[in-house]
Amino acid sequence: MGLFSKLFAGTVFTFKPDFSKTEYENWLEYLHVGGTDSEWKELKKRNHWKFKPDPIEKFSKYDSELRPVFSEYGELIKIIKEQWSVLYNSNNYTGQLAQTVESNCIKAISYYKEIQSIDIKYNQDLMTGSPAFTKLALLYERQGNFDKSILVCKAACKVGIDEKSRLKRMIKKAGRTPTAEELKLIDN
C-alpha cells in the first residue's frame, strides 16, 4: 500500500516497527509505505518506541566522548617526551623538571585510564601501551626509588601494559622477593 491507497481509501494504515532494526531503517520503511516525517515523529513520541542503537550514532557518541580526552592525553605525551629528553641530557632526576615530568606522567596515566574506560563503555578495543607509565617508572628508578617504580609497573601491568621485565628488575634492585600479587602479574 502506497501513498495513493492511503489517500484514496479513506482509511489510515497501521505501521508496526521492527525493533530488531535501527530507528533509521524503520523510518525509511515508514516513508516507503506512505508515511511522512512529521507523522513518524508523532508515532514515535506517542508510542515511546525505542529502537536498536544505530552503529553510526554509537560510534559518533564514542568519538565525541573520546576525542577531547585523547587530545589532552596526546598533547601531554608529546610534552612528556620533550621534557624527558631534556631531563635525560641533564642527568638531574631530582630537580624541578623531574617533578614536572612526574606530575605530567601521573596526569597522563589518569587520561589513559579514562580512555580505557571509554573504550570499555563503547565495547571498543582497548588502547594498549603508554609512554607515561614507562617514563614514570624509569624516573623513579633513576631516583633510586624502586618501591615507587614497582607500584607504577604493577599499575601498568593491571591495565594491560607489559612492564613485567621492569617489574622484575625493580624488585631485584629493591633487594626483596616478589609478593604473591607481583608473581601473578609477572607470570601472566
pLDDT digits (tens, 9 = 90+) for 104-117: 999 999 999 999 99
CA-based nearest residue to 120, from 66, 72, 158, 71: 66
* pLDDT score at 15: 85
The model's pLDDT over 168-185, given as tens digits with 9 standing for 90+, comes to 999 999 999 999 999 999
The model's pLDDT over 132-176, given as tens digits with 9 standing for 90+, comes to 999 999 999 999 999 999 999 999 999 999 999 999 999 999 999
Report whether 161 contacts 133 (CB < 8 A).
Answer: yes
- How far, in Å, are 7, 53, 185 from residue 32 at the CA level? 14, 21, 58
In this prediction the pTM is 0.76
**CA distance between the termini of the chain:** 62
Cell readout for 63 is 568519538
